[in-house]
Amino acid sequence: MKTLPEYIRSLSLVLLAASIAYFGYALITTAGTLGQMTSQATRTVERLDPLLALAPTVLEQAEKLRQTTDATVSEVAAVRELLPSVLDEVRATRETVPAILTQTERMRVESQAIRKEIALTRDQIPPLLAELEAYRTLIPQILAESERIRQLVPPTLDRVESIVTQADEVASTAGENVFTGMISGIVKAPFKLIGSAASAIAPSGVNVSEADTEILEQRIETFLGTAEVGDIEAYVSRDGTLTWRYGLTAKTTEDSETCRELDLTTLRSRKQIKSTQLTICLNQAEGEWYLKDAN
């Protein structure tokens, strides 16, 4: 029968044998794994070779990046030094904004007034153009009339001188006042167009302003004293809606009065709405033109 020490020694031998067997198995396994690791290490080295070849380039780029970083840091420092002045400029600009807004509001209000004025001016352009067109058509007649007047000035002056001489000779007679009044009426006419000329100027159903009526009467007065038979003039109302054309058709003497026959035509939108034959005579005693007949 074995003793306890013998059992322990036998167990130790068995464990030792098992350990040797496991160690052998581990060596065999490690040897296989070591081959795989060697192959993998070789492949890793092969992969690292291109990276190692790029190492100088990477280092060169890193150096350049470092230099660029230094320049960037310097630029940032310069920008940081400029920040106070930029902030001051922003503050000054911000303080200016209220004044700019006030000026802008004032300009907006003024622009509204300017637009209204432009609209009013634009509304006045059509009648102005119509009146200019009427004047343009009258320019040849005006030039011809000026030439005729220029040619008539010397004979007229001779006639006036003769009339004055005759007036001096007749001054001693009882009819001095009557004769002198007749002469002065012919020479100084026109004075004033009296009578109901407004009814002939303003067609029925058409409103004509007092200003247009007055201006037209004044023009007809001047026309009566200077026009020759066949002369024509025109006047466009201030709002451009009406046009009057008046022409001298005859010079007559009725009941010892100097008379003028006028053809007065009223047009609206270039369409005739009234045509009147006026007979206007000169009151020698009062030196005034008056409307004698209208049909």
Residues 175-218 have pLDDT tens digits of: 444 333 443 343 334 435 544 455 666 667 778 888 888 888 88
pLDDT at 247: 92
All residues at 6 or more sequence positions from 185 whose CB lies less than 8 Å from its CB, including other chains: 258, 282, 283, 284, 285, 287
Residues 47-73 have pLDDT tens digits of: 777 766 777 787 888 888 888 888 888
Burial of 278: CB neighbours in 10 Å, binned 0-12, 13-18, 19+: buried
Q: Which of 264, 227, 261 is nearest to 245 (CA)?
A: 264
pTM (2 d.p.): 0.37
What's the CA gap between 88 and 95, in Å, rounded? 11
Length of the chain: 295
